[in-house]
Structure 1
Amino acid sequence: MGYNRARGQPFQLTQEYLASMLRVHRPTVSVTASMVEYSRGVINVLDYDGLEGATCECYQVIKDQFERFLGKRIA
């Protein structure tokens, strides 16, 4: 969702904070290493479709709600 809000641009987010948001241990965040590029707190999504495919069904529900409220399609 952060990537969508950043309109496809790299964005700042630490692995520690991301793990906290996802309620997982920080090393678990490293599992997505092939789908994102991470350097000094900046995340650049390399494989958006792969990352989206690895999410649960709640991602699509939330994405649909944002689109409904904003009145436009997001990445």
Structure 2
Amino acid sequence: MVFVTRHVKLNAKVCLFYLGLFLAGVGFILGSVFISQYGGAWTFLFPLPTISGGAWELGVAVAFCVGYLLLWVGFLIY
């Protein structure tokens, strides 16, 4: 963080927004894996996460993908 502050002026609101997106994304991912038993190892080969053969429901796969989306949008904002 010290290196970045030498070259870029950081805004505290943007950092807090990033932190919120990051934590929400991690919460979605961990919730879908540990609470809803999502187990797709092929998470980026769509539409395979939604075709589970009954192992998990569509909503769980959507929650997992939304978690990834929030996480990466947070990374892009940061």
| Same-fold status (TM-score > 0.5) | no
Q: Normalization by structure 2: what TM-score?
A: 0.24
Greater RCO structure (CA 8 Å; 6+ sep): 2
Q: Which has the higher helix share?
A: 2
| Larger radius of gyration between Structure 1 and Structure 2 | 2
